[in-house]
Structure 1
Amino acid sequence: MSALRPDLAVIAANVAPRSRVLDVGCGDGALMAALRDTRAVDARGLELDPLNVAECVARGLSVIQGDADTDLGYYTDGGFDYAILSQTLQTTKRPDLVLDELLRVGRKAFVSFPNFAHWRVRASLLWHGRMPVTRLLPVAWYETPNIHHVTVRDFRELVAAKGLTVEGAWFLSGDKRISDAAANWRAEHAVFLLSR
Structure 2
Amino acid sequence: MSLRPDLAIIADHVAPGARVLDVGCGHGELMAVLRDTRQVDARGLELSPEDVSLAVARGLSVIQGDADTDLAFYPPASFDYAILSQTLQTTRAPDMVLEELLRIGRRAFVSFPNFAYWRIRWSLMWGGRMPTTSSLPDSWYATDNIHMVTIDDFRSFLGDRGITVERAWFLRGAKQCSAAAANFRAEHAVFLLRR
**Residue of structure 2 in register with 1:17 after alignment:** 16
**1:167 shift after superposition:** 0.2
Q: Distance in 2 between matches of 1:4 and 1:76?
A: 30
Structure 2 SS opposite 1:11? helix
**1:28 shift after superposition:** 1.2
Deviation digits for residues 105-145 of structure 1 (CA, Å, limit 9, x no counterpart): 00000000000000000000011000001110011001100
Q: Which runs of 4+ in 1 moved over 4 A?
A: none
**Residue of structure 2 in register with 1:124 after alignment:** 123
Q: Distance in 1 between matches of 2:116 and 2:6?
A: 17
Structure 1 SS opposite 2:67? coil
Letter in 2 for 1:149: M
**Residue of structure 2 in register with 1:135 after alignment:** 134
Letter in 1 for 2:51: N
**1:51 shift after superposition:** 0.4
Q: Distance in 2 between matches of 1:12 and 1:175?
A: 15
Letter in 2 for 1:15: V
Structure 2 SS opposite 1:168? strand
**Residue of structure 2 in register with 1:28 after alignment:** 27
Structure 2 SS opposite 1:98? helix
Q: Distance in 2 between matches of 1:105 and 1:154?
A: 24
**Residue of structure 2 in register with 1:69 after alignment:** 68
Q: Distance in 2 between matches of 1:114 and 1:163?
A: 23
**1:175 shift after superposition:** 0.9
Letter in 2 for 1:30: E
Q: Distance in 1 between matches of 2:87 and 2:185?
A: 21
Q: Does 1:173 align with 2:172?
A: yes
> What fraction of aligned residue pairs are identical, expressed as a percent?
70
**Residue of structure 2 in register with 1:82 after alignment:** 81
Q: Does 1:150 align with 2:158?
A: no
**Residue of structure 1 in register with 2:7 after alignment:** 8
Letter in 1 for 2:54: E
Q: In the comparison of the two structures, how many residue pairs are matched? A: 195
Q: Distance in 2 between matches of 1:93 and 1:136?
A: 21
Letter in 2 for 1:34: V
Q: Does 1:184 align with 2:183?
A: yes
Question: Is there any run of 5+ residues in structure 2 with no aligned partner, and where?
Answer: none
Deviation digits for residues 129-187 of structure 1 (CA, Å, limit 9, x no counterpart): 00001110011001100000000000000100110100000000011011101000000
Structure 1 SS opposite 2:22? strand
**1:13 shift after superposition:** 0.3
Q: Distance in 2 between matches of 1:175 and 1:130?
A: 26
Q: Distance in 1 between matches of 2:176 and 2:40?
A: 25
TM-score normalised by length of structure 2: 0.99
**1:65 shift after superposition:** 0.2
Letter in 1 for 2:78: G
Q: Does 1:107 align with 2:106?
A: yes
Structure 2 SS opposite 1:181? coil
Q: Distance in 2 between matches of 1:95 and 1:178?
A: 26
Deviation digits for residues 80-105 of structure 1 (CA, Å, limit 9, x no counterpart): 00000000000001111100000000
Deviation digits for residues 55-89 of structure 1 (CA, Å, limit 9, x no counterpart): 00000000000000000011110000000000000
Structure 2 SS opposite 1:70? helix
Structure 2 SS opposite 1:7? helix
Letter in 2 for 1:112: S
